Amino acid sequence: MRKLSFILLLLFFGVSQAENSIVHLASTSSVRSSGLADALFPLFEKETGYTLKISAVGSGKALRLGRDGKVDLVWTHSPDAEKKFVADGHGIKITSILYNFFYIVGPDSDPASIHGMSDPVEAFRKIALSESTFISRADDSGTHRKELQFWRDAGINPFGLWYVELGQGMKMSLDYAINHSAYIMVDSGTYANSENKGNLVIHISDNLKLQNHYSITVVNPAIHENVNIEGATAFIEWISSARIRQMVNDFRVNGVQVYYAE
């Protein structure tokens, strides 16, 4: 009987230890589609001994996973939603990690005549007025929310055959835009990592209004007791270190710097 109890005790601690070695991260899909996840995440596992379990989804879904206590950390680029996530008690710390830029890309024929414009809001207005085909992710991601903000600022409720709502991630949405010679707003990392861009070109880029900030938020262990707070803290400390920030700055996609550490 004592031997059986001892074995059960060993099994219990073994399972607990195994669970504590896993860090569950919900990450915006652009971090994966740009290639940054493949450059950083295996290194974290090698150097710390933790195993990362990644859910690559839009920011909205990532935050929902956090609210449901299904992950330990959320890596998103939706500042207002992140603040609400913490204000509602679901997160305990927002750490700014890096930023890049959104691009407004479209066919080189540029039917809406937006090339080189300084204001993305005015560019959106011209796309709508010309009824040029525009692809929306329509997935509650950070990119989708930023797009909707531009439409609101332009005083336009996009609707009609020209406005295509896919409900897909960034890479699939960009591929669709490429195949249909349409306008789309895309993060610089995913665009640079796309090998075949068809006849799409960058019309507006490196604009302050198109700056795209990414943050990581720790899920509140006081609400969700299953949160691996030690593993989450280890990941935050690792990715915030000067060495990893330099790696972010040095990261290139087809020779292009697409991320800037904060």
pLDDT class for 182, splitting at 50, 70, 90? very high
Average pLDDT over residues 171-182: 97
What pLDDT was estimated at residue 19? 59
What is the 8-class DSSP label of residue 161?
A: T
Structure tokens at 94: 């927002």
What pLDDT was estimated at residue 207? 86
pLDDT at 10 over 90: no
| 60 against 3, higher pLDDT | 60
Nearest to 181 by CA among 148, 134, 143, 115: 134
pLDDT in tens, 38-66: 999 999 999 999 999 999 998 999 999 99
What pLDDT was estimated at residue 22? 97
pLDDT at 16 over 50: no
Domains of the chain plus CATH, in order, are 18-99+211-261 (3.40.190.10), 102-210 (3.40.190.10)
What pLDDT was estimated at residue 13? 41
What pLDDT was estimated at residue 33? 85
pLDDT in tens, 93-121: 899 999 999 999 999 999 999 999 999 99
Secondary structure element (H or E) that encloses residue 81, with its range? helix 79-87
pLDDT at 181 over 60: yes
Structure tokens at 51: 């195993």
Average pLDDT over residues 240-259: 95
CA distance 19 to 51: 10
pLDDT class for 221, splitting at 50, 70, 90? very high
- Burial code (b: 16+ CB inside 10 Å, e: under 16) for 64-94 equals bbbbebebbbbbbbbbebbeebeeeebbbeb
Q: Pairing state of beta strands 73-76 and 22-28?
A: parallel
Q: Which residues contact 32 (CB under 8 A, 6 or more apart)?
A: 38, 54, 56
pLDDT at 11 over 50: no
Q: What is the mean pLDDT of the chain?
A: 91
pLDDT class for 172, splitting at 50, 70, 90? very high
Nearest to 180 by CA among 199, 158, 202, 195: 199
**% of residues, the chain, pLDDT over 70:** 93
